[in-house]
Amino acid sequence: MSESQVKHITAPFDISTATSLRAGDSVRISGVILAARDAAHKRLCECLDAGQALPIDLTGHVVYYVGPSPAKPGQAIGSAGPTTSGRMDAYTPRLLACGLRGMIGKGYRSQAVVEAMQKFKVPYMAAVGGAGALIARSIKKYTVLAWPELGPEALALMEVEDFPAICVIDALGNNQYEVGQAPYKTL
Amino acid sequence: MKEISCSTITEAVAQLAIKACCKLPHDVYAAMEARVKTEPSPVGQDILRQLVQNADIAAQESVPICQDTGLAVIFADVGQDVHITGGDFTQAINAGVAKGYVEGYLRKSSVCEPLFKRTNTGDNTPAVLHVRIVPGENIHLRLAPKGAGSENKSVLKMLVPADGLEGVKKTVLDAVVTAGPNACPPMVVGVGLGGNMELACILAKRAAARDLNSVNPDPAYAELEQDLLQMINKTGIGPQGLGGITTALAVHIEWAPTHIASLPCAVNINCHAARHADVVL
């Protein structure tokens, strides 16, 4: 993938950046992103159910579905590749309605999530699953924001520099999993 | 009678855990390197290159290949002439898992109970332990960490004899297509055929944890492994599901005798981080 095809973006971002990404784009993200997976998503939605404020205003933020391994001394973070996004599907539309503007994970999303992405103009990006040691090099700082008792599942903020991802479903609903697989399907 | 102490077992398991999580087996590494040249999709090639680079970093820095260092699945073949001394075998295994996962900075992904509390046990115990008593005076331990992305895509179908070969092919193919990018392709697909419900699942797990280049000793099953691999690589899924011909690196089948009315078929998928490490005590 030549560098000229890569889109460099800064997170958090606005709707115009969100809608500028197209399925298939190679993306490098710098700035600050959120880290949350199953248990943190459950707690975020429990806050909403209880009418409580979330630990952070989600507006404009990108969430990375990740549960890192522990940092060794001198490291910012351990291995930190994406986890399977589909497990967050049950919670995602509510968080998009709260202003969440991007998602990074791996794997398929439900129809309900794709519809909510189009409604709220949110792209979904994939990082390479199982490349946790490589991806960790683009994560400069990891700070737990809430629920430290959840260990690797705590809600956290990450400072990232040229974090590598591929836009797989854009805000228009174009799906790179479908487009990318079709030419190689010979069964 | 040979004596093996529990402390020896604990230390061996701790070292296996770190080795298995940080060092990709050479055969898997070589297979991914080779597929960079044969994968026609540029995105697929790029992903395979990144996975090779990732394995290099993990080995050099002794950090996990993947942050999901899994539940610790341990296959223990215990020689019947071994006398285990100084404690309880299962406790010794679990102490080794705890030591390896804590001291090796591996992720603790085990919760104490599945439904109500789901509290992290903090040291990745308990292990999932499969013990066989075998002839001899050694203990062979294989530790195969198994992440949930691929494990969650496991399938068990209680096929019947009339479903036959086509039923088996369809079950395996459906499992792979449903898993798609979620199971982190290129995958290693383990298939367990025959036995009964629980045996088919354990056979599939053993198959998924086999050495990458191993083939079933029965020629008919070896041929089926190749047929299934070719079918899977025609699905178009490709590396990370973004398209290509490298959807699986291998298909492994293990089988057992079964009931006249049954054809159990279990599929256990391993992600490209097809990790395992062995020791003989």
Is a pLDDT exceeding 80 seen at residue B145? yes
User: What pLDDT was estimated at residue A187?
Assistant: 86
* Residue A3 reports pLDDT greater than 70: no
Q: Which residues of A touch B41 (CB under 8 A)?
A: 180, 184
Same domain? B10 vs B127: yes
B226 lies in the same domain as B117: no
* Per-residue model confidence as pLDDT tens digits over A37-64: 999 999 999 999 999 999 999 999 999 9
Question: CB–CB of A130 and B42 under 8 A?
Answer: no
Residues B171 and B223 in one domain: yes
How many domains are there within chain B? 2
Residue A31, domain extent: 3-172
Is residue A183 within 8 Å of residue B236, measured between CB atoms?
Answer: yes
Using the predicted structure, report yes or no on whether residue B263 has a pLDDT greater than 60: yes
Which of the listed residues B146, B175, B207 is the one where a domain comes to its end? Answer: B146
CB B253 within 8 A of CB B265: no
Query: Is residue A142 one of the residues assigned to a domain?
Result: yes
Chain B hits for A128, CB-CB cut-off 8 Å, are 47, 50-51, 54, 240
Terminal-residue alpha carbon distance, chain A = 28
Out of A72, A108, A176, name the one closest to residue B242 (CB).
A176
CA-based nearest distance B146→chain A, Å: 12
Residue in chain A lying closest to B235 (CA): A185
Query: Which whole-number Å values give the CA distances from B256 to B15, B35, B192, B242, in the listed order?
Result: 32, 32, 8, 36
Question: Which domain-ending residue is among B112, B131, B146?
Answer: B146
Give CA–CA dist B55/A130, Å, rounded.
Answer: 9
Q: What is the mean pLDDT of residues B254-263?
A: 98
A–B CB contacts, 8 A cutoff, strictly below: 162
Residue where a domain stops, chosen among B96, B116, B146: B146
Q: Are residues B81 and B169 in the same domain?
A: no
The mean per-residue pLDDT over the stretch A90-114 comes to: 97
Q: How far is residue B107's CA from residue A31's CA, in Å, rounded to a whole number?
A: 26
A24 belongs to a structural domain: yes
pLDDT > 70: percent of chain B: 100
Name the domain count of chain A.
1
Residues B126 and B156 in one domain: no
What are the tens digits of pLDDT across the range B87-98? 999 999 999 999
pLDDT score at B31 = 96
pLDDT at B1: 87
Q: Do B257 and B177 have their domain in common?
A: yes
B167 and B240 assigned to the same domain: yes
Chain B interface test: which of A25, A42, A79 (most B C-beta within 10 Å)? A79
Is residue A187, in this structure, part of any structural domain at all?
no
**What per-residue confidence (pLDDT) applies to A1?**
45
Q: Does A177 map to a domain? A: no
The pLDDT of residue B112 is 95
Is the predicted pLDDT of residue A2 greater than 80, yes or no? no
Which residue range is the domain that position B176 belongs to?
A: 149-278
Position B29 in a domain: no
The 10s digit of each residue's pLDDT in A139-153 is 999 999 999 999 899
Q: Please, where are the H alpha helices in B180-261?
A: 197-208, 219-232
Flag whether A184 is in a domain.
no
Task: Specify if B172 maps to a domain.
Answer: yes
CATH of the domain at A145: 3.20.130.10
The pLDDT, as a whole number, for residue A5 is: 76
Q: Is the pLDDT of residue B106 over 80?
A: yes
State the smallest CA–CA distance between residue B262 and chain A in angstroms.
29
What is the least distance, in Å, from the CA of B8 to any CA of chain A?
Answer: 26
- pLDDT per residue over B176-225, tens digit each? 999 999 999 999 999 999 999 999 999 999 999 999 999 999 999 999 99
Q: Which residues contact B66 (CB under 8 A, 6 or more apart)?
A: A79, A81, A129, A130, A131, A132, B147, B271, B273
Residues linked to residue B145 through DSSP beta bridges, in sequence order: B72
pLDDT at B44: 96
Tell me what the pLDDT averaged over chain B comes to: 97
Q: Does A99 fall in a domain?
A: yes
The closest alpha carbon to A81, from A107, A60, A55, belongs to A107
Which among B47, B182, B272 is the nearest to A108, CB-wise?
Answer: B182
Nearest to A79 among B43, B64, B243 (CB): B64
Asked whether residue B202 falls in the same domain as residue B218, the answer is yes
